[in-house]
Amino acid sequence: MEKRGTFAGLNSIKFNQYFRTNDDCTKYIAEIKWEQGYHCKRCGNEKFINGIKPYHRRCLSCKYDESPTAGTMFDKVKFSLLLAFHIVFKVVTKKKGMSTLELSREFELRQKTCWGFKWKIQQAMASSLTHPLQGTVHVDEFFVGGPEEQKRGRAKGNKKLVILALEIVDDGVGRAYAEVIEHASSKELGAFLNKYVSKDAKIIADEWTGYAPLKNEFSKLEQVKSDTGKNFKDIHLHIMNIKGWLRGIHHHCSKDHIQGYLNEYHYRYNRRNHMGSMFDLLMKKMILNSPIRLL
């Protein structure tokens, strides 16, 4: 099988040279989509001829003509593929991402249109859940979109309760994941840890009672006094950074969509040392993961 071309790096001039036309983008999508071979979506047959349009494939058995974008997050996008690629590149490679307002100004699209596409990008940025956090992991919860004083109560009104887990490594911090939860109950805290943290990890939480029953499942879980945050400096800094980012760039983001923003933040954060490969990796997720309908 021929090796597909991949775009790497953060240089927008090179990006413009690599993707000049919609056909360049269609080709990129087709190569990712069928990199592991062709299977007709309708009948599963593996033999095809070229379809009617460039890079389409037509099944030799049932004659179904499949476009490269069919079944991907680029299906039925309301603007050109070239524009869609530019938006993905900007959102993923800019250190702080781009708000839908900025996107609508730069690309002369309606903000609502940008929002719909960015929402898809954020879904693709969700963790694949294949690399749980290891070693020493700090966990804590915080509120987004309101004052702090109601710590640990049920999230009310506009506020959303978020749980965060952060790897602590020798020379600083490793990866992190965050999720919106309803209550800081053992059930929800446990579900989060099961999803994102290895069973062998040394999990460090504060003295909140919700963590105590989880010691049965996570044998190395320890609870330590927060001491007004002194014992949790790194995770508190991380929380401040998320909040600052949400406030600064995305202050219009609806509280119901916080999870998408948490996905976006951590997609970039967890790959901060491999930024050059972020675009291609995200393209793969947008093409190979099943498309998700807009809420």
Q: Please, what is the minimum distance in Å from the beta carbon of residue 165 to Zn ion?
A: 44
Q: Please, what is the minimum distance in Å from the beta carbon of residue 121 to Zn ion?
A: 30
Q: Which is nearer to Zn ion, 64 or 79 (CB)?
A: 64
From 53-61, 158-166, 185-193, 243-251, span contacting Zn ion (CB under 5 A): 53-61
Torsion sign across C-alpha atoms 91, 252, 115, 164: positive
Strands 48-50 and 136-144 turn out to be unpaired
Q: Please, what is the minimum distance in Å from the beta carbon of residue 44 to Zn ion?
A: 7
Q: Which is nearer to Zn ion, 57 or 250 (CB)?
A: 57
Q: Please, what is the minimum distance in Å from the beta carbon of residue 66 to Zn ion?
A: 9
Phi, psi of 193 (to 5 degrees): -60, -40
The span from the CA of 261 to the CA of 53, in Å, is 36
Q: Which is nearer to Zn ion, 50 or 61 (CB)?
A: 61
Site string for Zn ion, 54-93 (x = CB under 5 A): -----x-xx-x-----------------------------
User: Is-contact 248 99, C-beta < 8 A?
Assistant: no
Q: Which residues pair with 223 in a beta bridge?
A: 205
Give the tokens for residue 52. Answer: 């009617």
Q: Which is nearer to Zn ion, 15 or 64 (CB)?
A: 64
Q: How many Cα atoms sit within 13 Å of 8 on the Cβ side?
A: 7
Q: Which is nearer to Zn ion, 61 or 241 (CB)?
A: 61
Residue 45 binds to Zn ion (criterion: CB under 5 A): yes
Q: Please, what is the minimum distance in Å from the beta carbon of residue 284 to Zn ion?
A: 24
Q: Which is nearer to Zn ion, 40 or 201 (CB)?
A: 40
The span from the CA of 169 to the CA of 138, in Å, is 11
Query: Cβ contacts of residue 196 below 8 Å, gap of 6+?
Result: 127, 129, 132, 133, 165, 177, 179
Query: CA-based Rg of the chain, rounded to a whole angstrom?
Result: 22
Number of residues that bind Zn ion (CB under 5 A): 8
Q: Please, what is the minimum distance in Å from the beta carbon of residue 277 to Zn ion?
A: 34
Phi, psi of 37 (to 5 degrees): 110, 165
Site string for Zn ion, 15-44 (x = CB under 5 A): -------------------------x-xx-
The span from the CA of 99 to the CA of 24, in Å, is 26
Judged by the rule CB under 5 A, the positions of this chain that interact with Zn ion are 40, 42-43, 45, 59, 61-62, 64
